[in-house]
Chain A
């Protein structure tokens, strides 16, 4: 009896593994397939309006103005609601639009907006925003939107953010194996760490 059971479980496992491996094997690093699902957010936050080019009606706000924790902490964090209100209480022109009205409803109720996570790595992966921002933006003087865009894509053209890259381990490693200049002026190059425990700790 149990031999039969053992065999069947083994077979199911093997089929599952072969199947999923086949799906993954054909997947190149960046294709349209890497687009994450559309995530419905409580407020459809327009990244394009805030960070987009002026020519396209954007405000060209620096990413780090709102995502202020990215350069100081392992998580980028969602800005506190008071940050949104800080500007929007003085922007009369959009005060009565549906999204801003909803924003003020949350503010007046002193309730946090229940945002959904768009880029959610598994719990066994520790990705450090601070290290990446400090290296690319502050040491190498890369434009902020380019540095953030390595992983998050061209957010300034989106409304609600959507995952653009696979964020798989292979994809992370493909970048960590490339040589980068140490800082903006140096000719010396280095690459990202490839030790397991850098991310899995």
Chain B
């Protein structure tokens, strides 16, 4: 039997010997291959295009909503590498790993290449003409109020076209949905400052207290904040800013903090009010009604409620009093509860009491073109759509830039409700979980081959319109840009208005050029203005002034007492937003799966982060497969024992556990969105992401976790780089 006597090792040996002898014969032999390969020249090209030398073109990153400017290195007509665009004030030429993976979204082998129409369980390739005709027929056949458009956050000219299309249909049902948006903080900011998204000046602050805002990792505009953070740490006057991170699960920002305080989940607001009380006691002038409202939050009580020691509360208050201006940030960890709005309001109040408003919390510039201003997404939108679908109020549904079937908790029964919609159109790059449910799937151009403009929600300075332009020709002739599709749909409804535009490019150019005065090109001719805009990749706008209010008031401020423990579900689940995967839309880019999580160094899988004490209590060691069960469902994943987490908390990263989407995403890890309990913020109605209680049981198996970290906290080869020390030996008087 050849299988028995000729195993793999012997085969390799033989191959090696054979190969070596053949290789020997190769010496001196030229393997020049004349006339076998083609050498293709350009038909027409610019003088600056030289084969083998890269040319850089500016565009805008579409990997997340921060809207950083990018430069793509293009060689021989193909984009090879992305860099940051120095002209964009958001990222000033810098870039993150998520952005770098943008080329993998473009060259991804799992991209959809032609429109697909449902035929039973299969998608049948059809032409664009037929697909657009079908949409026209379907939206024409139902009442306007039964047409719904679900999108992620939108801005720029695509948003303007989308609004025009919905107006043309007579439907106002535009649901803007983002699964991990800071929407509760926006509402609290609106109440406190009159502005949803103020500018945070980390660089001007001398102390930053961040309540779970992972601004160096995955929060709002991390590349911008990282640069501000660098200036905060090394200010011009040489004074090093102090960062205190208060959260229940350590984030990348928490790992960079001078002091990381593990707080009992959900008690962030109590700590904020306790700090106000301590500050008032230390002599900071606090408005009378605020002082009256917080007088019960004594250090002892706050310490008992939050689990943060008396000593730390005192130090924190002293630090805030001594160093001004400071900056207090409410992140996703503070706002993820049923009382998330109150938490965020209490934190905003702390900012006001400290006099930070106007110093480190600034008013942004108003956008001069409101029709292009960003519409940020929230989670409430999906609940509203889901309710309407359940009541059969939606007959035609469009979905763009969202993957609700993946990101909706199982308790919403979104997948079942989606089946009640007779005609579902999904604009997609991949056959993701939502596209699989669609009746018509329309394949989109990648962000590196499409035209668009973007106005990010968080603009660092002034106002700016970012231009996304194709960095290379389309890879597949059967895909189309979102702008082109909307224009074609508008031509069906308003032919007179839009027939002059051959494609979205001509619309965009004409729309920009006709407004060149307002876009800073009043003295330039059309071509110069347009070429300059494309060459820079951004158009600076003159923003309108916005007022920010700083009236500290305790009106309506009620922060509830900490949780009552639930004996059946004793642990809190924190669904972690990782810097790479976020809400999972980029999970099919293998670089992101391959780049290790910054804290655990785990790759290519989900994990359950657990404190060593909790693990010991449950008899769990690293690599144990456990079942994490909430009232709404259960998932199984490997345990990673980690001290950077509160003992009452476990954490599972989001973005993993796709059931479709592509070869690099499907079947990797588990989807933590699915087991979130349906608990909502009381003021905004947003899904409270951190409210889920779980119980953990061993499932019996044990695996070796695939991670970069060596045994026992990394092999330091005796170099004592990061020496482990028990916390009782740390001299707190020398620390923050």
Contacts and interface: CB of A to CB of B under 8 A. Distances in A.
Contacts of A25: 28
Interface string B37-59: 11111111100001111000000
A14 interface: yes
Contacts of B2: 1
B723 interface: no
A201 interface: no
Interface stretch (A36-44, A141-149, A192-200): A36-44
Interface size bucket, A side? Answer: 35 or more
Interface stretch (B12-20, B420-428, B488-496): B12-20
Contacts of A113: 41
B21 A13 contact: yes
Interface stretch (A50-58, A70-78, A87-95, A176-184): A70-78
Contact of B44 (A13, A81, A163): A81
Contacts of B43: 80-82, 106-107, 110-112
A1 B1 CA distance: 9
Nearest to B20: A13
B735 interface: no
B5 interface: yes
24 contacts: A6-B17, A10-B21, A12-B18, A13-B22, A25-B28, A38-B35, A74-B52, A77-B52, A81-B43, A82-B43, A82-B44, A110-B43, A114-B40, A115-B38, A116-B39, A117-B33, A117-B36, A117-B37, A120-B32, A121-B32, A122-B33, A168-B30, A168-B32, A169-B30
Contacts of A18: 25
A163 B36 CA distance: 13
B6 A117 contact: no
B28 A78 contact: no
Interface residues of B, number: 39
B662 to A, nearest CB: 29
A69 B38 CA distance: 18
B220 to A, nearest CB: 42
Contact of A77 (B17, B28, B31, B51): B51
Contact of B39 (A24, A115, A166): A115
Contacts of A79: 41
B42 A112 contact: yes
Interface of B: 2, 5-6, 10, 13-15, 17-22, 24-45, 50-53
A19 B32 CA distance: 19
B419 to A, nearest CB: 48
B35 A13 contact: no
Contacts of B34: 36-37, 39, 117-120, 163
Contacts of B25: 13, 16-21
B13 A119 contact: no
A69 B52 CA distance: 9
A24 B35 contact: no
Contacts of B14: 2, 5-6, 9-10
Given A19-B25, A80-B44, A82-B43, A40 B35 contact: yes
